[in-house]
Each structure stands twice: as C-alpha cells, then as structure tokens.
Amino acid sequence: MSCTWRKSIRSTGAWILILFSYGIVSAARIPNKGLAVAKEADARDLGWKDQYADVEMILKNRQGEVSVRKMAAQNLEVAGGGDKLLIRFDYPKDIRHTAFLCFTHKLAPDDQWIFLPALKRIKRISSHNKSGPFMGSEFAYEDITSQEVEKYTYAYQGEEWFEQALCHVVVRTPIDPKSGYTRQLVWFDQDAYRYRKIAYYDRKGDLLKTLVYSGYEKFHDRFWRAATMHMVNHQTGKETVLNWTNFTFFNGYQPVDFTRGRLKSRS
C-alpha cells in the first residue's frame, strides 16, 4: 500500500515538474508584445539615410508669455549604432550660429559638443544631464535624441483609440537610471506604427508631461514625419510646440559632416 502511495506521489510530482517546465519554456517563447510593437515602429522608419528639417520651437509659460526659437536640424542614420544629430540655432539672434552635435549611443552615454560662436569655441559637454531641458523648453535632452529600442524595456498595455486612430499602448521603462522618468506610456497607431502620444511619468511616478504628434506627412512613400509636436508639462503648466518644416532626405550627408571640426562651418 505505501509503495503505491509513494509511487503515485512520485508520478504526480513528475507531472507537476513537467507541466511547470513546459510553462516556463512556453513563457520564454511568448514574445513580449510591447517590445514587438516598439521594434516594428523602429523597423518602419529605417533607410532614410539622412534628414534635414527646419524647426520652430515655441515656448509658452503659465502666464501665456511666448518665446520663439528657430533652428535647423540635420540627422544621420547610423547602421547598427545610434544616430548622429547636428542642430544649428538661428533665432534668437544672440545664439545664432550656436551649434549642438550629438552622437547617440544605444546603451553608453551620448557624446555631445556645443559650438559657441562668440568665442569660436567647441566645447565637449557632459551628457549626464539627459533629463535636463533642451534650450529651456519642456523637451529634455533624452526626448530629442534618437529613440533607440535598446534604451527601454517594454510591456504591452492594450489597445486604445486616440484621435480617430486605433493605437497599441506600450509601457516603456528607461534602462538608464539617470533618466528623469520612471516610465512612459506610448501610443503607436496600428496603421503605420507612428508615434501618436507619449505620457511621461517622473521619478515619483506622477504624470509629468504629455507629448502629442500631429500633422503626419509621408515622404518618399515610406517615411512618416509629424509636422507638429506639442509637449505639455502638467505640473508647471508650461508648453512647448515644435513645428517641423522643409523635410528633405537623402541629402548625401557623410559622417565627416558630423564631426566637431565641422561644427564651426555655417552649414
């Protein structure tokens, strides 16, 4: 009698072990849907090689006062690595010809330089302050530098309608502890996997900012670019609007155009 009892325990135990193992293996094979959505969005925007755009940045504070910044942004797509960004400021006039160069890296800190036209000086700056404001706006440095898939971990939240588009909602958590955010909620539309909205949560976990993309246009039949990005800071009441115009692709930019020696040239 005891022999059969022990035998049945052993066989039950074996089944539990088998089922448990199967469960683990299955879970490992179930794709992270959030990561899959992020990767699809990234894959849909590959092959643009280089990009030029004029950007107008409008800053509004709680009292309704408005300031304007104008700049030209050049991007270089880097295969397998982070993209390169070169911004030349145009307005206000006292910062005209100031330039900002950034080499984004997937996991290492970005390399950043600034060109100060009054002194003709090129300064390497620390990119440690990724959560700091870019040009006094509501966009942080980490918001404007290239969004690499590897910088976050992902979880799928669900589907939601946003502005007549059915979207995948993905929770993404920055891997870098220096990030100003504990998590972000990203709305990707299901049509073309374009960014529609991002909600940013600060280090305390409270909703800090919301970014809405609008005015999407298709270039070269492949690349979607938003004409307007509207960032609202719910805690301070300040807003920043980025208006993007004159997108051009395949300009023939080379890596040498994105070196610190070229920062001082006019274009």
In the complex with another protein, which residue's Cβ is closer, 35 or 232?
A: 232
Q: Tell me whether residue 29 or residue 204 sits nearer to another protein (CB atom).
A: 204
Residues listed for the chain? 267
Which residue among 42, 133, 157, 173 contacts another protein (CB under 8 A)?
A: 133
Q: How far is the CB of 259 from another protein (least distance, A)?
A: 6
Q: Identify residues 201-230 at the interface with another protein (CB under 8 A).
A: none
The answer to whether 190 touches 169, Cβ cutoff 8 Å, is no
Please name the residue that has the structure tokens 């440690």: 128
CA distances for 14 relative to 11, 20, 24, 251, angstroms: 5, 10, 15, 64
Minimum gap (Å) between residue 65 Cβ and another protein:
8
Query: Which helix (H) or strand (E) is 87 found in, with range?
Result: strand 84-91
Under the criterion CB under 8 A, does residue 94 sit at the interface with another protein? yes
Answer yes or no: are the C-beta atoms of 236 and 222 closer than 8 Å.
no
Q: In the complex, what is the shortest distance from the CB of residue 49 to another protein, in angstroms, rounded to a whole number?
A: 17
**At its nearest, how many Å lie between another protein and the CB of residue 198?**
20
Considering only residues 54 to 93 of the shown chain, the ones binding another protein according to CB under 8 A are 59, 61, 67-68, 91-93
Which amino acid is present at 17? L
Interstrand relation of 66-76 and 165-174 (parallel, antiparallel or unpaired): unpaired
Q: Which of 4, 63, 164, 267 binds another protein (CB under 8 A)?
A: 267
Q: How far apart are CA 252 and CA 108, in angstroms?
A: 27
Site membership for another protein, residue 121 (CB under 8 A):
yes
Minimum distance from CB of 130 to another protein (Å)? Answer: 9
Query: Measured from the CB of residue 214, what is the shortest distance to another protein in angstroms?
Result: 24
Number of C-alpha atoms within 13 angstroms, CB side, residue 123? 11
Cα–chain-centroid distance for residue 16?
Answer: 44
Q: If you search the block for the tokens 């997108």, which residue do you land on? A: 247
By CB under 8 A, residue 132 contacts another protein: yes
234 touches another protein (CB under 8 A):
no
Q: How far is the CB of 105 from another protein (least distance, A)?
A: 10
Based on its alpha-carbon atoms, the radius of gyration of the chain, rounded to whole angstroms, reads 23
Q: Can you read off the two tokens belonging to residue 187?
A: 């709305």
Number of residues that bind another protein (CB under 8 A): 36
Site for another protein, rule CB under 8 A? 59, 61, 67-68, 91-96, 109, 111, 119-126, 128-129, 131-133, 136, 254, 256-257, 259-262, 265-267
